Amino acid sequence: MPYTIAGDIHTHTLASRHAYATISENVAAARAAGVEVLGSTDHFSMMLYPEQHIRNFQFFINQGIWPREWDGVTVLHGAEVDIVSLAGTFFGQDIPCPEGIVGHLNRPGSTLFDIVTRDLDYLIASVHNGMFADGATVAQTTAMYTAVLESPRVLVLGHAGRSGIPFDIDEVLTVARENHKLIEINNHSLESRRHHDVCQKIAERAAELGVGIVVSSDAHIAPAIGKFPCAERMLEEIHFPEELIMNRGRDALLGAMAAAGLEVK
């Protein structure tokens, strides 16, 4: 029986620099695909620019002008932020940000992470360059992911099945459940058989442990919005319980966000 998945909360726009759609094009694609909730989560990462400055990331800061309800689609403001250390820290947390975009002074001690993410609805935390974990023990990588899930701004652990970093799945999923955080089943990851087995193992244990997941397209172009064929096929094969798919509908998703302490205003 096909799943109902009515939210796509891991998507990218031109602001990610290697994606190819505007936010309005993504909203239109979401509406056409029957997506009730669109989350826009451009990369907050060193992969975008060789020098890090608040002006490079001002796209995030002005998202308050977007209609919350846009052509029948609820639009959420997010970011996909890079995990950059075994301590579970994020890109931008060690970069001072003393001035705003036009030169006004920020609060002393402000970081790039603080300023860019402070008004966003949620964060997806992902590893894109796992070199910092080379030689690490499973205990260390597990502690990294648990620290990430305990971060108050993080809602979703992004594509952990394709990070290439081994970890104790049960321990990480248990922390996710205790903190009402979601584990991503990323359609893009499942397009490659190379990641399929790890992604499936994560999904199987999430089902057995009662951990909520979010199914995402990770779309980098508008026509991919709301399309999850590989993820849906895998979940159907393992008979994943639909009640644990937290983006099965608008109310379920917003309820999951509220449970994680991330209420949408």
* pLDDT score recorded for residue 165: 96
pLDDT tens digits along 118-175: 999 999 999 999 999 999 999 999 999 999 999 999 999 999 999 999 999 999 999 9
pLDDT tens digits along 39-98: 999 999 999 999 999 999 999 999 999 999 999 999 999 999 999 999 999 999 999 999
How many domains does the chain contain in total?
Answer: 1
* pLDDT score recorded for residue 254: 97
Q: How far is CA 228 from the centre of its chain?
A: 15
Whether residue 99 is contained in a domain is answered as yes
Tokens standing for 187?
Answer: 């359609």
pLDDT tens digits along 201-236: 999 999 999 999 999 999 999 999 999 999 999 999
Whether residue 101 is contained in a domain is answered as yes
Closest CA to 200 of 165, 172, 161: 161
* pLDDT score recorded for residue 71: 97
* pLDDT score recorded for residue 21: 98
How many CB atoms are located within 10 Å of the residue 216 CB?
28
Tokens standing for 203?
Answer: 């999904």
Q: What is the mean pLDDT of residues 21-38?
A: 98
> What ranges make up the beta strands (E) of 12-83?
37-44, 69-70, 73-82
Q: Please state, in angstroms and rounded to a whole number, the distance separating the CA atoms of residues 198 and 202.
A: 6
Whether residue 264 is contained in a domain is answered as no
* pLDDT score recorded for residue 130: 95
Q: Please state, in angstroms and rounded to a whole number, the distance separating the CA atoms of residues 67 and 74.
A: 8
Q: Please state, in angstroms and rounded to a whole number, the distance separating the CA atoms of residues 154 and 260.
A: 9
Tokens standing for 36?
Answer: 């009730």
* pLDDT score recorded for residue 192: 83
Q: Coil, helix or strand for 201?
A: helix
Q: Using the predicted structure, report yes or no on whether residue 195 has a pLDDT greater than 70.
A: yes
Q: What is the mean pLDDT of residues 176-181?
A: 98
Whether residue 78 is contained in a domain is answered as yes
Whether residue 36 is contained in a domain is answered as yes
Whether residue 44 is contained in a domain is answered as yes
- Domain around 18: 7-259
* pLDDT score recorded for residue 1: 56
Nearest-Å Rg of the Cα atoms of the chain is: 18
Whether residue 158 is contained in a domain is answered as yes
Closest CA to 225 of 4, 8, 22, 2: 8
Are 253 and 14 in contact, with CB atoms under 8 Å apart?
no
* pLDDT score recorded for residue 2: 84
128: domain CATH number is: 3.20.20.140
Q: Please state, in angstroms and rounded to a whole number, the distance separating the CA atoms of residues 45 and 42.
A: 9
Give Cβ neighbours of residue 230 (< 8 Å, ≥ 6 apart).
187, 190, 191
Tokens standing for 27?
Answer: 């909203």
Whether residue 145 is contained in a domain is answered as yes
